[in-house]
A and B are shown apart, each in its own frame.
Chain A
Amino acid sequence: MSDRGVVFDLGYTPYEGERRGRRGALLTTYRDGLNRVFGIRRRARKKILPWILIVLAILPAVVFVGFAFLLSTFAPDAQSPFGSHAEYFSITGATVLLFVALAGPELLIPDRRSGVLAVYSSRPLRPDDYVGMRAASLLTVIAGFMLIPQVLMYVGFAALSADGFFKGLGTNAAEIPKILAATAIYALAYAPLALLISTIASRKAAATGIFLGVMLIGTALAAGLVQATSIPGHKYAALFALGEHPDHVRDWIFSRVGSSDLVVNGAGIDPWMSLVTILAVATVSTVVVVTRYRRLM
């Protein structure tokens, strides 16, 4: 194929239509973020992992509702062993962690590496707008990941309720604010840190690896520190188990007894300390990301 174009003189029509200014720029940045994380309008290989993870997040909810349907049909008195909203966060929490590890770098690093940031800098956007819309894209995806299966289960179980659909909806209404609060906690625990690492790392693979390392290996190291030392206050090393804090706070929100497998539980860290840690990491991450982009744009 020739790389020479032909310049046609077809005249030029000035644009005299609507200009949305900053509002349009914000919307475009947000929409582009969603397209990026789902691989929309990108090569097929960019779509594979995100959509596999989406299926992995939603499929168990469909299976749980299906199992409950079979149970209600063939053994109406039996109690379904699945289906706690709190437990489901353990499933989606793992898939969201992986998704965020891929999506965070995808949202920030290509724009810097390819120089597209210069185009954003010439449009009616502030640096904070750019970072804010990228974060909004990521938070939307996390919320979708967490809430869609929860809604499926909520509606599914209500439909199977012996008291009827609408009464079934009302029975579990108290769970709704807990589900929303837990979703917000996971989003706060994952998104700002992923964006911070993607701001510092120059390659997507490195950022993904570092994020998963901080979340998973950091937890293992924290467990080792808690067990290996006996100096006063050594239990606070468990605060470095960043991957466990959202689970710890979730158990608190749902008034559940947390798993003893959690390092933070074993070390006797109070849930509010986990919450403060999540908020502190999110705040510091946000400040660093915004400061860096104010210099770049």
Chain B
Amino acid sequence: MTDTSIIAATNLGHAYSSIVALHGVDFALPAGRTGLVGANGAGKTTLIKILLGILRPTVGSANVLGFDATKQFLQVRSRIGYMPEGDCLPEDITASEFLIQAAGLAGLPSTAARQRASDVLTLVGLEEERFRRLGGYSTGMKQRAKLAQAIVHDPELVLLDEPTAGLDPEGREEMLELISRLGGFGINVLVSSHVLGDIERTCDWVLMLDGGRVLRSGPLSHLVDADMVAVEVVGDTTALIDHLAAAGANVDSSGAHVYVSSFDTDPFNLVRDALAATNTGIWSMGPKATTLEDVFLEGSGE
């Protein structure tokens, strides 16, 4: 674990009998908002359960906020919040009562728990509904109540497991806005999701898992901001590709499409010069936006 990382894993592995969910992964995540992405079965939930101290790693260790997640899980849990993917709301009590209970469970005295419950319900937009029983809440309201219980005790870190699951577009927007604001409150966030667009919008670091292994871990800007130009060529692409490669560019092609990137020079200038030199005609040319999905598919070999 480095000085600036809030979560770190060293050779962290877990197996359910013969099924290996995590293959000795290593990573260090900095403070801020981190997206934990991967397909179903990638090991996201297993990792979250290890960080919470619910599961013991088969090998290796995990460190959260400076504490060993397995041996010091009570200290870890005193400092973090968790929003599970599934239901976690009792239907027969009001949101206010539930949040007071959730704050009490995190160790807050009752007066402070009442105050925090009221403040946080206002923060997530449930102030008007706080005395309504949770069983009568819509899916969107339930997701916000789940987020509220995760942050009611003002944790240093909150783990959000699929926070936008089941939400309609408007509810999704609201949830993403709330998650984006958490960093401003001094709360570090680890968001687990398989909706890569959500991660791109809310996070500044990405930990990508695939089949229980780390596919990528790094700043989002480094992963998705590859400075690439896409060119659709009229006719044969061979001369253009050869010229670009000779000029030191990274070139990829698919049919009439040629993708060019360069670490040294502006790729647009390289393409312009190559087109002129090879006398190649084009249908179109423009920047190619690399999404997290591109990175994931490339990394997972799909």
Where the two chains meet, the residues of A that have a C-beta atom closer than 8 Å to any C-beta of B are: 1, 3-8, 10, 12-15, 17-25, 27-29, 31-32, 41-43, 46, 110-111, 114-116, 118-126, 297
Are A10 and B122 CB-contacts (below 8 A) given A15-B108, A18-B109?
A: yes
Where the two chains meet, the residues of B that have a C-beta atom closer than 8 Å to any C-beta of A are: 52, 54, 74-75, 77-78, 80-82, 84, 86-94, 97, 101-102, 104-109, 112, 116, 119, 122-129, 137-138, 140-141, 144, 149-150, 153-154, 159, 170, 174, 177-178, 181, 184-186
For residue A111, give the distance in angstroms from its CB to the closest CB of chain B: 8
Are A41 and B97 CB-contacts (below 8 A) given A4-B170, A19-B78, A116-B88?
A: yes
In Å, the complex CA distance between A281 and B218 comes to 55
For residue B153, give the distance in angstroms from its CB to the closest CB of chain A: 7
Chain A residues contacting B159 (CB-CB under 8 Å) are 122
The answer to whether A5 and B105 touch across the interface, beta carbons within 8 angstroms, is no
Are A19 and B108 CB-contacts (below 8 A) given A4-B140, A13-B119, A14-B154?
A: yes
The answer to whether A12 and B124 touch across the interface, beta carbons within 8 angstroms, is no
Q: Return the contact of A124 from the options B106, B140, B149 (Cβ within 8 A).
A: B106
In Å, the complex CA distance between A54 and B128 comes to 36
- What are 30 A-to-B residue pairs whose CB atoms are below 8 Å? A4-B170, A5-B129, A7-B123, A7-B177, A8-B125, A12-B185, A14-B154, A14-B185, A19-B78, A22-B107, A24-B104, A24-B106, A24-B109, A27-B104, A32-B101, A42-B92, A43-B92, A46-B92, A110-B92, A116-B89, A118-B88, A119-B82, A119-B88, A119-B105, A121-B52, A122-B80, A122-B82, A124-B75, A124-B77, A124-B107
Which residue among B93, B150, B153 has the maximum number of chain A CB atoms within 10 Å of its CB? Answer: B93
In Å, the complex CA distance between A259 and B234 comes to 104
In Å, the complex CA distance between A116 and B146 comes to 10
Are A124 and B74 CB-contacts (below 8 A) given A20-B108, A115-B89?
A: yes
Chain B residues contacting A125 (CB-CB under 8 Å) are 74, 77, 105
Chain B residues contacting A29 (CB-CB under 8 Å) are 105
Are A114 and B88 CB-contacts (below 8 A) given A7-B177, A13-B119?
A: yes
In Å, the complex CA distance between A102 and B119 comes to 35
The answer to whether B87 and A17 touch across the interface, beta carbons within 8 angstroms, is no
The answer to whether B93 and A41 touch across the interface, beta carbons within 8 angstroms, is yes
For residue B88, give the distance in angstroms from its CB to the closest CB of chain A: 4
Chain A residues contacting B138 (CB-CB under 8 Å) are 3
The answer to whether B174 and A7 touch across the interface, beta carbons within 8 angstroms, is yes
Q: Return the contact of A8 from the options B89, B109, B122 (Cβ within 8 A).
A: B122
For residue B172, give the distance in angstroms from its CB to the closest CB of chain A: 13
The answer to whether B109 and A122 touch across the interface, beta carbons within 8 angstroms, is no
The answer to whether A12 and B184 touch across the interface, beta carbons within 8 angstroms, is yes
Q: Return the contact of A5 from the options B74, B86, B94, B126 (Cβ within 8 A).
A: B126
Are A115 and B87 CB-contacts (below 8 A) given A4-B170, A18-B109, A18-B112?
A: yes
Q: Return the contact of A10 from the options B92, B123, B186 (Cβ within 8 A).
A: B123
The answer to whether B108 and A17 touch across the interface, beta carbons within 8 angstroms, is yes
**Chain A residue at smallest Cβ distance from B107:** A24
Q: Return the contact of A7 from the options B74, B89, B92, B178 (Cβ within 8 A).
A: B178
Are A21 and B104 CB-contacts (below 8 A) given A5-B124, A7-B125, A114-B89?
A: no
The answer to whether B102 and A119 touch across the interface, beta carbons within 8 angstroms, is yes
Are A15 and B107 CB-contacts (below 8 A) given A7-B125, A114-B87?
A: no
For residue B63, give the distance in angstroms from its CB to the closest CB of chain A: 18
Chain A residues contacting B93 (CB-CB under 8 Å) are 41-42
The answer to whether A118 and B107 touch across the interface, beta carbons within 8 angstroms, is no
The answer to whether B108 and A24 touch across the interface, beta carbons within 8 angstroms, is yes
